[in-house]
Structure formats: structure tokens, C-alpha cells
Amino acid sequence: MSDRDGPTVDEDVAPLTQATVDELADEYGREEPFDLVEREHTETLPRAFAAGEYGRRDAEWVVQWYYRRRSIPDAERRRAEERFLDNDYEEMVDAITGAAAATDREGKLRALTRLTGVDIAVASAFLAFTHPEEYVAVGGREWRALRAAGELAEPYPASLTAAAYGRYLDAVTAVARRVDRDLWTVYRALWRIGA
């Protein structure tokens, strides 16, 4: 699926300072319709996934969250979401459990991408809701914002790989450390840069 996450980010983006990140993250809270439900899910889903106390709808919500906030035609979005529903429940549980048990990012991504309808980008969304202190989702919009802010040199790849996601995540993590904010706060700021 192509990534149509909105317009091209203006190349004249302010550096990602603590004040800029805070301002953009606050704007995210005021302007983005998913903010409240994201906050709730970053509180509840990590515990539910870790304890194995989740159902198909919890996992399906992650896939829907990923696609419904992006500029993807409705029919294409529905097909993507329906592909995920083709997974057997036990296979879905095994993939999520396997990702939790993996000790490295590549192993986590490999476990999740075994599922029908889960590519690296959607797997990154699962990681963002299973380990929000360590991972954030990736898409063209966020990537372009990070690049426009001078934090990532390469353009969004035509085909997202685990290695490319790793470079993106490393860049987001470096910003988070530098501005002393958590990954989700930086993620929210990047999303608003692309608005």
C-alpha cells in the first residue's frame, strides 16, 4: 500500500527543540481527533498485550488506528483492515506473543509481519501500543517531518524495511533524549509538522 500521509512537509521547519516539541505536542492534543483514545490505549493495551488479556478487537484497533489517520482512500483502507481480519485468532496471539518475547527490534518486527496484512509500518504501530516507551509508528508523514527538521537524511523509502524503520526510530529516540521528552510526545510533534 502506498503511503499518502498528507502533503509534502515544508522544508523550512524549525529545529526540534524542547519548546518546539512541547508546542507541537500541545497542538496535537487540541487538534487531533485520536489524541484521547491514543492516550487511553497507550495506558491499557501494553498491560493487556503483556498479560495476554486481549481479544481480536484490541489487535484490530491497532490496525484501524494506523490506517484511519492516514490519507488513504476509503476502499483501500478497508481492504487493508480486512486483510488483517483474515488472520486466525491463535496465529494473531502467537505473533503478538512472539513479538513480546523477541529480544531485538528485528525479531519483534519479524514475528508481527508474519500476520496477513501486517507490514513493517503496521508492525511499528503494534510496537507503539505494546511498548510505547520504546517504539513509535512510522509512516511517510512522520518520516518527512523528521527529515524536514534535519533529523533524518534519507527520504521515505519506496519499500519500508526493518532496517529503515530502525534508522527512523533511532532518529526519533535521539530527538526524545535531546529534548528530554518521551517518544510519544516527539511522535505527536512530528505528526503536527506534517499537518
Within-domain flag for 132 = yes
Question: Is position 87 within any domain?
Answer: yes
In a domain, 12, yes or no: no
The answer to the question of residue 2 being in a domain is no
Model's pTM, two decimal places?
A: 0.91
- SS3 call for 132: coil
What's the CA gap between 130 and 61, in Å, rounded?
13
Residue 4's pLDDT is 47
Going by C-beta distance under 8 Å and a sequence separation of 6 or more, which residues neighbour residue 35?
Answer: 28, 29, 188
Report how many domains make up the chain.
1
Within the chain, which residues score under 50 in pLDDT? 1-2, 4-7
Could you tell me if residue 46 is inside a domain? yes
Is 10 part of any domain?
no
Residue 137, domain member (yes or no) = yes
The reply to whether 163 falls in a domain is: yes
The pLDDT tens digits for 145-182 are 999 999 999 999 999 999 999 999 999 999 999 999 99
Return the pLDDT at 72: 86
Under DSSP, the state recorded for 55 is -
Q: Which domain covers residue 143, as residue numbers?
A: 18-193
Each residue's pLDDT tens digit, 28-41: 999 999 899 999 99
Cα–Cα distance between 157 and 170 in angstroms, integer?
A: 16
